[in-house]
Each structure stands twice: as C-alpha cells, then as structure tokens.
Amino acid sequence: MLTRKKVQNSILLFFGIFLLINIISSRFFFRLDYTADQRYSLSKATKNILSSLQEPITITAYFSEDLPPDIEKVRQDFRDLLVEYSSYSNGQIVYDFVNPIESQETEMQAQQSGIRPIMINVREKDQMKQQKAYLGALIQMGDKKETIPFIQPGAAMEYDLSSNIKKLSVTQKPKIALLQGDGEPKLSELNQLHQKLSIMYDIEPVTWSDTSGIPAEYKTLIIIAPKDTVPTNYFHYLDDFLSRGGRIIIALNRVDIDYSQGGVGKAVYTGFSDWLKAKGIEVEKNFVTDASCGSVTVPQQVGGFRINTNVKFPYFPAITSFTKHPVTEGLETVLLQFASPIKLLPKDSSVVMYPLLTTSGKSGVQAPPVYFDVSKNWTQSDFGLSNLPVGVVVEGKISGNTDSKMIVFSNGNFVVNGEGQQARNMPDDNINLMVNAVDWLSDDTGLIDLRTKGVSSRPIDATLQDSTKSFLKYLNFLLPLILIILYGIFRFQNRKRIRNKLMNTSYVQETK
C-alpha cells in the first residue's frame, strides 16, 4: 500500500537521480554515432588539438534565427559540434550564439568580424522570397582572431573549426624548405601557394650546401620546376634527407616550350630525372596530349576586326581522374602545362608506388621536338592511349632504413604565378593539390582527413521507376505510424486478455 511518505520519497529519489544524471552529463559528453561517415564523432586529430590547448578560446557563432529547416539544421549541427568541442577541451572552448539581425549593433559586429550575409530562398504563404541570413563564426584566442565567413550546408565543419583553432594555438609552425639555386621560381613567383601554406607553415628558401645539405630542421622539401643541370654529387643530399625520414615533393618539367627558338617544345634535363629513375620513377621526356584539355587564346582576323578566340590545346591536360587519397580528396580539375607520362618501375618490395593523377581515357604522347600548331584538327587516332600517370606517390624505405614519403608531379608550372606583368592566377584546384600534398607529408595530426568530412547525401537511386520512388517515399513516412498502431493494438489486446483471465478466475476462501 502506497503511503504519503513513500510517494514523497519516490518523488525525491526521481529528482535526485535526474539531477545526478544532469551533473554527470555536463562533465562527460557521450553520444553513439551509427552514421556511415561518422559525422557526429570527433576525429583523433581534433581531440589532440583540443587536449593541447593552453589558453581558452572563445567562439562566437553568428547565426540568424527562423531559418528554413534545411538551413536551420546547419545551425543545430554547428551547436552540437561546439558542445563536443567544449566537452573534450575541458572547458577551454567557450561559445555563444548571436542573432546578428536582432539589432543593428550585432549586425555591425558580425560584418566587422568578416561575416557577410547571404541571401536564401524562403517560401512564405505559397510565395518565394529572399531573406538575408548569417551563417558564420568568429574564433578568438587573446588578441588573435580567425573567421569562418560562411558555413555551408553539408560542409566539412570539423575541418574548418579545428584548422582555425590550430592556427590560433600553434606556437611554432613546422618549417618547409623550398629549394632554390637551379632556376626554380622564387617564393614571390608562388604567391597563391605561399599565401595558403604560410597559414600553417614557415616556408623558407634553401640552396645546396657542400657542408650540410638539407638541414634537419625541415621536415618537407619542395622542389618546383628546376631549369639548370644539377651536379651529380648534390643528389646524395636528397638521399641523406630521405634516410632521416624527410619528405620530398618534386614538380619536375621533363619537357617545356623554348621561346628562344620560336616556341618549339623540347626536352629538359636537370639531372633530377636520372636520380628519380634510380628510385624506380621514370619521368619520360615526352609530351602528354589529352582530349580533355585546357585552352589557349589565339588572335584571329574576322572581317575588319581582330578578336581573341579560345582554342582547345591538348598539351594542357585537364586532369579529372584521381586516385582516392587524402591529397586528391575534394579536387575536381587540375590543369597541367606540358606534362610528361610517368612510369613506375619498383625495385624494392619495401617501397610502395602508385599513381595519384592520371590523364583521361583519350590521351597520347609526342616526342620532342614538337612544333605546336593551334589550328591542328585533332582526331581519335591522336589519342590512342589512356590513363597515363602524371603524378605518383612513393612510400617506404626509399633511401636507407627509415620510412619516408615522396610525391612526384611531371609538371612544375601548374602552381607558378610568375611576377610583374607576366603574373597570372592559377586554378584553385592546382594550388589545393600542392597544399594537400604538403599537408599529407608534413602534418601528422590527421587534419587533412577532415578537409572533406561532411554530411554525405543518400538520395533515392535516380534509376528507379517513379512508382518505386513514390512507394519508398510513402513507406518511409507511413511505416513508423503503422508500427506504432500495431503495437497499440497488440498492447490493447494483451491487456484485454489479462483482464478477462482475472475476471474468470474464481477465488475460494479456505476455512479452518
């Protein structure tokens, strides 16, 4: 029999347990993640960054309210992410959500922080209208600030957040060496690449030295488009660097255009090709041609006018075929200029080699000298080859007994901006490819794996019949309701059966 005291004790016990659960959950964050892409789980790289924080970081999320459901989900996902960051950082991450449209002052604060509004389509009373919205965040540590101007739906939120936190918290950037002295482009000629790399690394020019070679303070060495012949004895510095576990990127021009001879395509020799061949990587002295290619601007006389026309130029292969790898994740098209095919000739089972970039299914090669004809009518017979490697990865004991890594591209011009009036912007994916390569070789935290971690879409197969699509759509909507109704019917029938059984049971009182 329930007494008043028992009821009071039960209520107090319930609230006590509820309060204890809340206290524990505020200190320890726990969530089960059964998604295929682990979208709700923090990576090891992020946890390492958060656990090593020495100073508190404040994150101000500027998000508009009353957004459409698909946009509102971005806000909720970002909030959930910040809850986890705060939990794993032992309170070093402090966050706040601000609605910039709430007042003119908060909107001005958002814009001064580098967060600009975007226009989104909103349906209201069966009409479409555009609405201003903010979806960004300001990350601060002391006097230092970083901004995420716009958080896209399905974007790699964790990478944006973790990489910006690392930028603020890193006390000493890793050093990257850029080889100079053999006709390579100067740092000032690599403006786009320098801007992106300097966020996470210190890029320092180095030259060959007869006494020390490549200093041990550098983890990665970048070699881009050397032009001059390198003395053979210098290459033992590269072997020594690899034997210490160093990493190397070589973007080598094995062929190029010689403007001094009227624009003839010729072979280029620097000595690097011999050194690479000894490692089992042969960069051939041939021009790659590809039906999937970039264009060159050609002036043409039309009537009394002189106009510039873009003409397809197969010597500029547009690479869209990438091996699944952290270096190539998220890339769409990389445009090379006068590339060469690469042959892999493994000589040691302890060294792993594989292509990273390949040409399209309609490719070819031409041996120098090549006299370029932009008006040439290219045919299928010119593209009798396919999937020629133009970028490769080498891992293992390349030199000595220590594991190291190397990436080789058969073109060195794809990241060179140039200087002065000759300066030009390179496609973003060209720069991203080189930055990804440096990250993969230099950053052991694993941040590069987060660059494309986003929400994977799982749409209905487009090849299904419309009737099948409709069936699946309504089944997805109605099945939970049907299951609830069936459970209710089962529960009702079961309770009715028990009640009837109790009513039909006769109780006889024994007498003594």
**Domains of the chain, CATH where assigned:** 25-169 (3.40.30.10), 175-442 (3.40.50)
Residue 15 has pLDDT above 70, yes or no: yes
Give the residue, 70 or 264, on which the prediction is more confident: 264
Rounded (10°) CA dihedral 46, 51, 56, 58:
20
Mean per-residue pLDDT, 5-13: 72
Q: Which residue type, as a one-letter code, is found at position 113?
A: S
pLDDT tens sequence across 123-142: 766 677 788 889 999 999 99
Most confident of 41-55, 410-424, 481-495: 410-424
Residue 409 has pLDDT above 60, yes or no: yes
User: Which helix or strand (DSSP H or E) is residue 334 part of?
Assistant: strand 334-335
pLDDT tens sequence across 233-274: 899 999 999 999 999 999 999 999 988 777 899 999 999 999
C-beta neighbour count of 139 within 10 angstroms: 23
Rounded to the nearest 5 degrees, what angle is found at the Cα of 453, between the Cα atoms of 448 and 458? 155
Query: 4 by DSSP, 3-state: which?
Result: helix
In this prediction, residue 455 carries a pLDDT of 46
Q: How many residues does the chain have?
A: 512
Residue 348 has pLDDT above 90, yes or no: no
In this prediction, residue 297 carries a pLDDT of 85
Residue of 276, 324, 318, 273 whose CA lies nearest to 414: 318
pLDDT-derived band at 398 (thresholds 50, 70, 90) equals very high
Residue 199 has pLDDT above 70, yes or no: yes
pLDDT tens sequence across 133-183: 899 999 999 998 999 998 876 667 888 898 889 888 887 888 999 999 999
Mean per-residue pLDDT, 95-108: 91
pLDDT tens sequence across 442-500: 977 667 766 655 544 455 555 667 778 778 778 887 888 888 888 888 888 888 888 78
In this prediction, residue 506 carries a pLDDT of 63
Residue 282 has pLDDT above 90, yes or no: yes
Query: What tokens were used for 350?
Result: 């302890």
